[in-house]
């Protein structure tokens, strides 16, 4: 009897851990779902605009908590590990991107935000990698 109860509790515990709320699920292509993109107009591809591709690294230090991605201090989207997001912006302008942990009632850490300023001189593709190391979040430009 004790073994059956233990097995049942273990199965329930594992089932609860594998459940992901709908707004936190990623798409099969790894793109950030539209439900977590707050400025949807920036995801529309248009001629003569520069594409900025964000990718969030998966790994040991990254964790599975969401990060808030912002452009010029305006929240753009929530991005989870392993996800990608492309936005299109006017070239000839500098933009400051930042990423910080999304705080919730059960988060008790204070990871400092990371930021990166990109000067989009010409139309083209600009890549930004969001990662984490022992010191916290990082953002790196890859051109």
Predicted pLDDT of residue 123: 94
**Which architecture, in CATH terms, is 26-142?**
Sandwich (2.60)
45 alpha carbon, distance to own chain's centre? 20
Predicted pLDDT of residue 51: 96
Residue ranges of the domains in the chain? 26-142
- One digit per residue, the tens of pLDDT, for the chain of length 143 reads 677 666 655 555 555 444 444 445 566 678 999 999 999 999 999 999 999 999 998 765 545 678 999 999 999 999 998 999 999 999 999 999 999 988 766 555 667 789 999 999 999 999 999 998 877 888 999 86
Predicted pLDDT of residue 19: 43
């Amino acid at each position: 009897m004790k073994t059956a109860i233990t097995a049942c509790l273990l199965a329930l515990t594992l089932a609860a851990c594998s459940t992901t709320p709908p707004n936190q699920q990623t798409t099969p292509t790894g793109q950030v779902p539209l439900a977590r993109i707050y400025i949807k107009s920036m995801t529309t591809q248009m001629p003569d605009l520069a594409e900025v591709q964000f990718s969030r690294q998966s790994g040991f230090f990254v964790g599975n908590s969401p990060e808030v991605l912002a452009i010029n201090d305006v929240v753009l989207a929530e991005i989870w590990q392993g996800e990608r997001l492309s936005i299109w912006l006017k070239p000839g302008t500098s933009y400051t991107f930042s990423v910080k942990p999304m705080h919730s009632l059960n988060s008790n850490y204070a990871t400092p935000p990371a930021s990166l300023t990109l000067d989009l001189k010409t139309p083209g593709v600009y890549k930004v990698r969001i990662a984490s190391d022992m010191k916290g979040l990082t953002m790196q430009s890859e051109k």
